């Protein structure tokens, strides 16, 4: 499972002119499932996202996680994180999970945030979404449950 995590002042997702998910300060998470992902990948990524110490403490150091600062999380599915452009210029998405399985998998990922001490909003899986954000910092972190950067 892959994710791009951005520290934001605010973020929202709009589908066909209607806002379907919105947060104030917190994290925008663009996430995708790979073909060989399992429940352990969901738990790993959720726990990593919630524990990232990328918010400033009283000394101005990145030392607080989203829970500690009372922030929210906006979770958006984005299969293009598995786009492979090593050969040619058109991305190949063969490593991405098939859409039907990915819909269910992403739903489990979103549900895993319930009861974790943060408000979680989401977009609509498979929809053409307009994602807008005010990146704070900017701070952007890449996560992958299968490898370490």
- What is the arithmetic mean of pLDDT over 59-71? 96
Q: CA angle, 60 as apex, 57 and 64 as ends, to 5°?
A: 25
Mean pLDDT of 14-21: 97
Residue 39 lies in a domain: yes
Q: Of the residues 6, 12, 55, 78, which is catalytic?
A: 78
Alpha helices, DSSP H, located in 27-121? 39-51, 99-111
Whether 106 is catalytic? no
Catalytic residue among 35, 80, 93, 140: 80
Round to whole Å and give the CA distance between 13 and 30. Answer: 11
pLDDT-derived band at 148, boundaries 50, 70, 90? low
80 counts as catalytic: yes
Total structural domains within the chain: 1
In a domain, 28, yes or no: yes
Share of the chain above pLDDT 90, in %: 97
Among the options 55, 79, 109, 113, which is catalytic?
79
23-43 confidence digits (pLDDT tens): 999 999 999 999 999 999 999
User: Is 122 a known active-site residue?
Assistant: no
Domain with 105 in it: what CATH number? 3.50.80.10
């Amino acid at each position: 499972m892959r994710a791009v995590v951005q520290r934001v002042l605010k973020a929202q997702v709009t589908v066909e002119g209607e806002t379907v998910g919105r947060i104030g300060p917190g994290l925008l998470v663009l996430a995708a499932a790979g073909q060989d992902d399992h429940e352990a990948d969901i738990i790993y990524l959720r726990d990593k996202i919630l524990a990232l110490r990328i918010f400033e403490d009283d000394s101005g150091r990145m030392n607080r996680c989203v829970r500690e600062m009372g922030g929210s999380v906006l979770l958006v599915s984005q299969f293009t994180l598995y786009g492979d452009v090593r050969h040619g210029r058109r991305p190949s998405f063969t490593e991405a999970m098939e859409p039907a399985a990915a819909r269910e998998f992403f739903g489990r990922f979103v549900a895993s945030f319930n009861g974790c001490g943060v408000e979680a909003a989401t977009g609509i899986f498979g929809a053409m979404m307009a994602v807008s954000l005010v990146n704070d910092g900017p701070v952007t972190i890449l996560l992958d449950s299968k490898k370490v950067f």
